[in-house]
Amino acid sequence: MTTQNTTHMVGIDESLTDVPGWALEAALESRIEAHRYMDETDRVLARYEDVDTLFPSIEVLELLGVNVAKLADALDNGLDARLFGLVIDDGLKIDEFNQTLEAGINIPSFNEGMEHLVDQQRLMAIHSDPVERTMHCHGECGCNE
């Protein structure tokens, strides 16, 4: 995990600037890990066996270029971890996502947008043709979805 400068970690009290970098990294990783699992049971089981996670590990997120400090703040403030995992798997534009986090994210609106994107991707998997998708939205496709 790369070292995070405390001045870039929103929500960190300025009195913590004398805390060693490894401790801040561990705290940040803990905050991210708290949101990666469906429930506490999966979080505990992950120590002993492979379990499904909602989104990639902090190491993978860093490799992708995600501002993990800002992401931790957003997750702590209600960013939907399940939806985040689905859109990151679907090709979320990391640079634009980071800009949104840095500019200040409206979390309820962002969650709605992610949900809409996930729904549209699911609909495209069911109906690849735009006409069929339109019929689906009007309940006239007969697919029972």
pLDDT for residue 16:
53
Please answer whether residues 114 and 108 qualify as being in contact, where contact means their C-beta atoms are separated by less than 8 angstroms.
Answer: no
Which of 4-8, 94-98, 103-107, 136-140 is the least confident region?
4-8
Map out the domains of the chain as residue ranges.
Answer: 6-105, 106-145
pLDDT for residue 17:
56
Please answer whether residues 74 and 101 qualify as being in contact, where contact means their C-beta atoms are separated by less than 8 angstroms.
Answer: yes
For the purposes of burial, counting CB atoms within 10 Å of the CB of 34, is it exposed (0-12), middle (13-18) or buried (19 or more)?
Answer: middle
Show Cβ contacts of residue 59 under 8 Å, excluding neighbours closer than 6 positions: 1
